[in-house]
A and B are shown apart, each in its own frame.
Chain A
Amino acid sequence: MSTALLKIENLKKYFPIKVGLFGKIAGYVKAVDRVSLNIDSREVVSLVGESGSGKTTIAKCILLLEKPTDGRMLYKGEDIILFRGEKLREYRRGVQAVFQNPFLSLDPRMSVFEILSEPVKNNLNLSKMELHEYMLKLLEMVGLDGSFLEKYPHELSGGQAQRVAIARAISLKPKLLILDEPTSALDVSVQAQILNLLADLKNELGLSYLLITHDLSIVRYISDRIIVMYLGRVMEAGLSEEIFNEPLHPYTQALFSSIPDPYYREPKRISLRGEPPSPINPPPGCRFHTRCPHAVEICGRKEPLEYEASKTHKVYCWLHLEK
Chain B
Amino acid sequence: MSRFRQQRIILSLIIRNPISLVSLLIVACFVFLGISAPLTVPYPEDAWGLTYNVEKRFLSPSLEHPFGTDALGRDVFSRVLLGSSFSLVIAIGVIGLALFIGIPIGVVAGYYGGRIGTLLMRITDMFLAFPPLLLAIVLAATLGRGLLNLIIALAISWWPWYARLIYVQTNTVKTMPYIDAAKIAGIPGAKIIFRHVIPNALTPTLVQAALDMGSAILEAAGLSFIGVGVKPPTPEWGLLVSEGWQSINYAWWIVFFPGLAIMITVLGFNLLADALRESADPRLRRTILMRLGVKQ
**Which A residues are CB-close (under 8 A) to B187?**
118-119, 122
A 69-106 to B, binary, CB cutoff 8 A, 1 in contact else 0: 00000000000000000001100110111011100111
Known A104-B176, A154-B282, A154-B283: A111·B2 in contact at CB below 8 Å: yes
Closest residue of chain B to A111, judged by CB?
A: B2
Closest residue of chain A to B182, judged by CB?
A: A118
Is B8 close to A, CB under 8 A?
Answer: no
Known A118-B187, A118-B195, A119-B186: A105·B282 in contact at CB below 8 Å: no
B 162-188 to A, binary, CB cutoff 8 A, 1 in contact else 0: 000000000000001110111111110
**Which B residues are CB-close (under 8 A) to A165?**
181
**Contact B199–A109 (Cβ < 8 Å):** yes
**Contact A107–B200 (Cβ < 8 Å):** yes
**Contact B184–A122 (Cβ < 8 Å):** no
Is A152 close to B, CB under 8 A?
Answer: yes
**Contact A96–B184 (Cβ < 8 Å):** yes
**Contact A172–B185 (Cβ < 8 Å):** yes
Known A104-B177, A105-B177, A111-B2: A63·B196 in contact at CB below 8 Å: no
Select A65's contact among B180, B186, B196, B199, beta carbons within 8 Å: B180
Closest residue of chain B to A150, judged by CB?
A: B2
**Contact B185–A101 (Cβ < 8 Å):** no
B 1-22 to A, binary, CB cutoff 8 A, 1 in contact else 0: 1100000000000000000000
**Which A residues are CB-close (under 8 A) to B184?**
63-65, 92, 95-97
Select A119's contact among B176, B185, B200, B282, beta carbons within 8 Å: B185
Known A88-B186, A118-B187, A119-B186: A168·B181 in contact at CB below 8 Å: yes
In the complex, what's the smallest C-beta–C-beta distance from A289 to chain B, in angstroms? 35
**Contact B282–A63 (Cβ < 8 Å):** no
In the complex, what's the smallest C-beta–C-beta distance from A131 to chain B, in angstroms? 15
* Complex Cα gap A130–B178 (Å): 25
- The tally of residues in B whose CB lies under 8 Å from a CB in A reads 20
* Complex Cα gap A197–B61 (Å): 78
Is A123 close to B, CB under 8 A?
Answer: yes
Known A105-B177, A107-B178: A65·B282 in contact at CB below 8 Å: no
**Contact A92–B178 (Cβ < 8 Å):** no
Closest residue of chain A to B196, judged by CB?
A: A107
**Contact B186–A93 (Cβ < 8 Å):** yes
In the complex, what's the smallest C-beta–C-beta distance from A292 to chain B, in angstroms? 35
**Which A residues are CB-close (under 8 A) to B183?**
63-65
**Which B residues are CB-close (under 8 A) to A60?**
180
**Which B residues are CB-close (under 8 A) to A105?**
177-178, 180-181
**Contact A123–B186 (Cβ < 8 Å):** yes
A 123-158 to B, binary, CB cutoff 8 A, 1 in contact else 0: 100000000000000000000000000101010000
Select A108's contact among B1, B186, B200, beta carbons within 8 Å: B200
In the complex, what's the smallest C-beta–C-beta distance from B156 to chain A, in angstroms? 29
**Contact A97–B199 (Cβ < 8 Å):** no
**Which B residues are CB-close (under 8 A) to A154?**
282-283
**Contact B181–A123 (Cβ < 8 Å):** no
**Contact B181–A109 (Cβ < 8 Å):** no
Closest residue of chain A to B200, judged by CB?
A: A109
**Which B residues are CB-close (under 8 A) to A65?**
180, 183-184
In the complex, what's the smallest C-beta–C-beta distance from B278 to chain A, in angstroms? 16
Select B185's contact among A108, A109, A123, A150, beta carbons within 8 Å: A123
* Complex Cα gap A89–B199 (Å): 26
**Which B residues are CB-close (under 8 A) to A97?**
180-181, 184
Known A108-B200, A154-B282: A99·B177 in contact at CB below 8 Å: yes
**Contact A92–B186 (Cβ < 8 Å):** yes
* Complex Cα gap A96–B181 (Å): 8
**Which A residues are CB-close (under 8 A) to B191?**
122
* Complex Cα gap A104–B196 (Å): 12
**Which B residues are CB-close (under 8 A) to A123?**
185-186
* Complex Cα gap A105–B180 (Å): 8
In the complex, what's the smallest C-beta–C-beta distance from A151 to chain B, in angstroms? 9
**Which B residues are CB-close (under 8 A) to A108?**
200, 282-283
Known A101-B177, A107-B196: A152·B186 in contact at CB below 8 Å: no
**Which A residues are CB-close (under 8 A) to B2?**
111, 150, 152
**Which A residues are CB-close (under 8 A) to B185?**
92, 96, 118-119, 122-123, 168, 172
In the complex, what's the smallest C-beta–C-beta distance from A295 to chain B, in angstroms? 38
* Complex Cα gap A239–B287 (Å): 51
**Which A residues are CB-close (under 8 A) to B200?**
107-109
**Which B residues are CB-close (under 8 A) to A168?**
181, 185
Can you offer 9 A-B residue contacts whose CB atoms are under 8 A?
A63-B184, A65-B183, A89-B186, A96-B184, A99-B177, A105-B181, A118-B185, A118-B187, A119-B185
A-side residues, CB < 8 A to B, are 60, 63-65, 88-89, 92-93, 95-97, 99-101, 104-109, 111, 118-119, 122-123, 150, 152, 154, 165, 168, 172
B-side residues, CB < 8 A to A, are 1-2, 176-178, 180-187, 191, 195-196, 199-200, 282-283
